[in-house]
Every structure is written in structure tokens, then in C-alpha cells.
Structure 1
Amino acid sequence: MAKRPRSSTGPRKKPAQPTLVPQRIAIVGAGMAGITCARTLAQAGHDVTVFEKSAGASGRMASTDTAFGSFDTGAQYFTVRDPRFELALATAPNAARRWSANAVRILDEHGQVSSPSLPHPEPHWVGVPAMNRLVRDWAAPLQAQGRLLTQTRVSALQRDTLQPQRWQLHTAGDDGSSQVHAGFDAVLLALPAPQAAELLAAVPSAGALAEALQPVTIAPCWTLMLAFPQAVQPGLTTLGPQWNAARSTHHRIAWLARESSKPGRSQIERWTVQASDVWSSEHLDDSAERVQGKLHRAFVDITGIHAEPSHIALKRWKHAKTLKALGQTHLWDPANGIGLCGDWCLGHRVEDAFVSGLSLALSLS
């Protein structure tokens, strides 16, 4: 007679969960996409190192401090449409606030209001006290742990000399020093597509990734900054128009914003002016003096502010606004251990950069 199986009276064992194998990962670029990717991978238990050529994390959520107050030289605001982005913002509740902007106006070629506000307006958010606050808050734990290397430009990506299945990065510092960082299982490029393509061009096995970037088109942008401290006096708080932000169809200027109207900023009247992508492309290699003069004259035409600014400065972004996106959240080549992310994968919004960085991280973790 066959024996009956014994009944089990003890607790059933749970099936074994797969054990995460921590990887050593290099991320090039500390903008929204790079820091989102880095913090997600670090929280999952990976050993992450972020390389950034600038003095701090921000990417195109950059801000410049002056004696008259700060200027947001890159992204002017962001929207919150993706629920994952909304949850992430809750982790830094003091880093961003809504900006009413008196409703963003739309101006014609002559600076006249052609529409009172953007169609279907949605909340505009800005970092406080400057646009770079959100990315820098998220990057702070990485920096405290020595995982964020600033003023460190990655000049080359190669297979590791001692461990050919891994990667090494050649870097150059602002002081002229050079260094090799080796032993990475994966390298993730959170850079504008043209800069990523430059690094991949010297990697024979990355031809397919480089080819996938070719359709992506990103326009440059000249940004003008002006300050008018004479506006802060009894009986006078602002100069020029009553609106605080506008999109323009002027052939030189696409966007204007009164910086001092943004929450958490100083009261000194300041304006950020961003040139159109067509005009910026046509004048990309012009002298700063010529560009500044032309943009200032267009600013006067649009706003009617003829007062001489006490501060005027210029910044050139070679890769600013995505005109033709990749059409997918990220690129990841597991055989090579190379990935790419950035707003250009999906569009040109801050949210696009967040979703791209998060998606790439989740594909690894």
C-alpha cells in the first residue's frame, strides 16, 4: 500500500526572492535626467558615481547668482503631469512652488498681446529660491557620499584596460588635471544627444546606439539677463508691461520672464530673455557683444523698457530645445552596458527628463 504523504503543520516557506547584485555604475551628466537616474539606482543598492563638468548639479535647470539677484538661465518653469513626478516632488516639499506669472501672455511680432494667456493654462512650478534647487536637493545625498564629482568633464569612454568586460572613463578637471576612473559595469550618458554621440563615436561596439541618435534634433538658445534696481523705490515696483511672462513671435525673441515675479526671489526687477531657436541657430557663432546688442534692442521694442540696465549678461546654450525627439523613454544596450537618457528622448520638458532618467534606472534595477 502506498504511503500517504504527511501533512505539513508548519508555516509554508515563501519563495526565495531574487538577490540584487549591486553594480558599479557611472553616470555622465548631473541634470534632471542624470540625478533622477542616479538617486533611483542608489536607492536600489547600486554603487553610483556621477560625473558633471559644471560646478554643481542642475543641467538646463541652471541658475546664475548676481549682486542683483538670481536668474534662471535655462528652464523657466516646469509642469507636473506625471504622477511619478508628483510623488518625487513630495520628497522635497520646500524646493518648488507654484508661479502664477499673471497667466503667460502670447505676443505678436510687435510686442502686442495677441492672446491673453496660453490656451488651457496649467500650473507653472519653479524651484525656490532658484530653478536649480530641486535637482541640487536630490543630488545632495550623492554629493555628501562623494558620489558626485563636479568640475569633472568626461573626455573619453573606453573598455577597462585590466577588466575588458567593464568600462573606464577618462576625465579632465578645471585645473588641467586628468584622471582615469575604471571598473564600471555600466555607463549611462545623461547628456544632450549630440554630446552623447561624440563620446560614443570612439566606442566601436556602440555603433547602433550612435545611429539611433541621428534623427534627434536639438536647437541652441541665446539667453539675455537684465537687472533694473532703479525700479525698486517708493511708488514704483515694476517697469514696463504688467504681465510677468510671455511667449513671443518676434523673430529674435521667443520668451520673456520677469524673474522678480517668481516666488522666493528678491524684489529687484530682473528679466530673462530667451532667443528663438531659429535666430539662435543663425547667430550661434556671433560675438557675444553683437548678440547682446540685438537681443537688448528687441527687448526694448517688446517691453517698452528704455531704462538702461545696471546689469546685463549673456549665456549661450548650444543644446537647448528638442525639436525632434527620439520617441522613446531611453536607450539601453545590456550587452554593452551603455545607456542614454535625457529630455530629448521624449521632448523638451523638465518632466520628460525626469521620466527618461527614471525609466533608464528601472531598466537596470
Structure 2
Amino acid sequence: MKKRRTVAILGAGMAGATAARTLADAGLTVQVFDKGRAVGGRMATRRSASLQFDHGAQFMRAHGSAFAARLAAWEKRGIVAPWVGSERWVGVPDMTAPVGDLLAGLSVRSATTIMRIRRDDGAWYLDDAGGGVHGPFGAVAVTFPAPQIAALLDGSGYALADVGRASYAPCWSVMLAAEGGLTGGLIEPREDPVGLIASDASKPGRPEGVRLTIHATAGWSRRHLEEPRETIIASLIEAAARQLRVSLRPTHAEAHRWRYAQVETALDVASLYDPALGLGAAGDWCLGARIEAAYDSGAALARTIAADLNGDA
């Protein structure tokens, strides 16, 4: 029986967006689902009134030729720009811009949580948290953090080998607006509790003002993962002031808990795919703790799915 040339992509971060664009360019129909209100995944930007914070991944680097070429193309179009040195790149006007560009013109359903995937008569169907059903699809590509993939597959009665081996470190992130002047762009103390302090205004295309993103270290975040946000905010602001040697007078502060912030154990494979089911998975957890790894993994999975559904495998 001829396979349906439609693919459901679960997750609208870099891996999912790259997979979606690669599949669409190969002539397949894609539908992207994401539980967030906006695309980007951990390449996230938070807005509160007139304030803006990149509170997830702060920058991108390219180690390989494929992602370097993509960054160069994005730079020409104003989607990315260099920041605090030529090796670091940021999205413009925020970190979601590269993912948004990959998904431009494609079908994306945000604020849609997929609770279960199921196979019926050779096709895939998705059940969402609101009772909706989506399908049929010829293949499903899941690009969540590995523990979330494992939970979805287990609850749906399916499995992909080795997903459970990948592990992540958590991270508390504090978004701080403050009075006064502050110079500098990025420091990485990597001393408990502060792993990184980034000045949003120092990035190209951002509004002026003192807006800091403070990322806690993995170890400190793990030890304090369940503490109240107010406690986290106070601790990280105090520590950041010590690192910066300034008095921070907050006008706005909020915290975000990333349970799956950075890959600690990767599988060292490009992606996972079961051709008998038409079920695959991709993400930075396949190749390493980099945005580039998510890009490469999503592209690899898409090429495998395209070959399968186009009959070239």
C-alpha cells in the first residue's frame, strides 16, 4: 500500500522546525504541533509589557558546515546577527526568529498538547488534551526533550530504542529589569549559584534598558529545583549583584524553571526512526548540548522520513 505523504511533527523548537522545513522542501505535507503559545522551544523569548528577555538559549555556534551555511544565509536576511564576538550568533529581534523563519508558511498548531499517539489501519492519529483528534499521518516525528518523548511513547504503547538513555540538567532562569546603567554583554561565572548572566540590550536589534537573564548552574538548579520562585529570584539577584559588583535595583523580576535545559548524556546518533511504524524522534539529545545538534538531528530525521515516504529507502 502506498504510504501517506503526510507527517506530524511534535515540537516546534529547532529540531522540529528543521525537520518540518526539510520535509516540506522534499515535497511532503507537514503539520507541526506544540504545547507552547509561541514557537522556539528552548530558544525562547518572554515578553512582559514593554520588556523582552531571551530566557532560554542565549546564542548559537556553528561547528559544522551545514549549520554554518544556514547561519550565513540567515545573516544575509537579517534573521541572525553576531553578538559579543564572531563565534556567537543570536536571533533578531529575538531568539525565536530562526525557528520562526524555518516554519514560515507551514501549518503550525500552537497551544496544543498531544497526549497520545495511536496507529490505526496503517496511519497515525494524535489525541490532544482538549479532546481533539488529528490525522491521518504517514509518519510521526517527535522532537521533545528525551524524557518527554519516553513518557509519550510509553503512555501510547510504543517505544524507540535508547531514548531513555539521554539525560538533561535543569536550570533556573531569572529575568530581571533594573534601574541604572550597566555595561557588558555576557559573563559566564559558572560558580554556584550563577552559571551565566546575559544583558539583553547588548544583543543586536533589542530595546535599550537594563534587562538581565541570569541562568543558575546545573548543580544549584538541581538542588533547588522545587523551591518557590520568590526564593530563587532573591538568591540569583543577590549572587548576580556580587558577580557584577553593582547594586541591582529591580523594577521587574520573574523566574522560569527549565526541567530539561541542557543535555548531559547524548546518544551519539543523528536521530531515531522505526520504518515499520513510521515513527521517529530527534533533538539535541541525539548529538549533544548545542542548538546546532538539534538542527542536524532534525534534518537527519527528516531525510530518513522523506526517503521512506517517497519510496526511496
User: Is the TM value for this pair above 0.5?
Assistant: yes
The question of 1:267 aligning with 2:208 is answered: yes
The question of 1:136 aligning with 2:100 is answered: yes
Query: In structure 2, how many angstroms separate the alpha carbons of the residues matched to 1:215 and 1:21?
Result: 31
Query: In structure 2, how many angstroms separate the alpha carbons of the residues matched to 1:170 and 1:364?
Result: 22
Amino acid at match of 1:358: A
Aligned to 2:228: 287
| C-alpha contact 2:139 2:305 (8 A) present in aligned 1 | no
The question of 1:192 aligning with 2:126 is answered: no
Output one character per residue of 1:49-76: Cα deviation in whole Å (capped at 9) or x when no partner: 1101111210111001234531111110
| Equivalent position to 1:124, from 61, 68, 88 | 88
Unaligned segments of structure 2, at least 5 residues = 307-313
Query: In structure 2, how many angstroms separate the alpha carbons of the residues matched to 1:61 and 1:89?
Result: 15
Aligned to 1:119: none
The question of 1:227 aligning with 2:180 is answered: no
| C-alpha contact 1:35 1:135 (8 A) present in aligned 2 | yes
Share of identical aligned residues, percent?
Answer: 37
Aligned to 2:47: 65
Deviation above 4 Å: which 4+ runs of structure 1? none
| C-alpha contact 1:24 1:48 (8 A) present in aligned 2 | yes
The range that moved more, 23-32 or 298-307, is 298-307
| C-alpha contact 1:69 1:265 (8 A) present in aligned 2 | no
Amino acid at match of 2:176: L
Task: Kindly name which structure, 1 or 2, has the bigger radius of gyration based on alpha carbons.
Answer: 1
Query: In structure 1, how many angstroms separate the alpha carbons of the residues matched to 2:240 and 2:71?
Result: 34
Query: In structure 1, how many angstroms separate the alpha carbons of the residues matched to 2:258 and 2:87?
Result: 26
Shift of 1:304: 2.1
Query: In structure 1, how many angstroms separate the alpha carbons of the residues matched to 2:119 and 2:254?
Result: 42
RMSD: 1.7
Shift of 1:91: 4.5
Query: In structure 1, how many angstroms separate the alpha carbons of the residues matched to 2:36 and 2:264?
Result: 25
The range that moved more, 325-334 or 302-311, is 302-311
Output one character per residue of 1:93-137: Cα deviation in whole Å (capped at 9) or x when no partner: 211000126xxxxxxxxxxxxxxxxxxxx6110001111111112
| C-alpha contact 1:22 1:46 (8 A) present in aligned 2 | no
Amino acid at match of 2:114: V
| C-alpha contact 1:167 1:185 (8 A) present in aligned 2 | yes
| Equivalent position to 2:109, from 131, 135, 149 | 149
Shift of 1:82: 2.1
Aligned to 2:26: 44
Q: Judging changes above 3 Å, is the alpha-carbon distance between structure 1 residues 159 and 21 closer, same or farther for their aligned structure 2 residues? A: closer
| C-alpha contact 1:68 1:227 (8 A) present in aligned 2 | no
Aligned to 2:311: none
| Equivalent position to 1:249, from 190, 208, 218 | 190
| C-alpha contact 1:22 1:45 (8 A) present in aligned 2 | no
Aligned to 2:118: 158
Aligned to 1:97: 81
Aligned to 1:339, what secondary structure does the other structure show? strand
Aligned length: 303
Shift of 1:140: 1.8
The question of 1:317 aligning with 2:281 is answered: no
Output one character per residue of 1:32-90: Cα deviation in whole Å (capped at 9) or x when no partner: 00010001101111111110111121011100123453111111000122221233335
Aligned to 2:302: 361
Shift of 1:307: 3.1
Query: In structure 2, how many angstroms separate the alpha carbons of the residues matched to 1:158 and 1:61?
Result: 29
Higher helix share: 2
Unaligned segments of structure 1, at least 5 residues = 1-19, 102-121, 232-237
Shift of 1:273: 0.4
Amino acid at match of 2:95: M
Q: Judging changes above 3 Å, is the alpha-carbon distance between structure 1 residues 227 and 189 closer, same or farther for their aligned structure 2 residues? A: same
Output one character per residue of 1:231-285: Cα deviation in whole Å (capped at 9) or x when no partner: 3xxxxxx33xx53211113211111111111111111111110011111111111
Aligned to 2:165: 215
Query: In structure 2, how many angstroms separate the alpha carbons of the residues matched to 1:336 and 1:58?
Result: 28
Taking structure 1 as the reference length, the TM-score comes to: 0.79
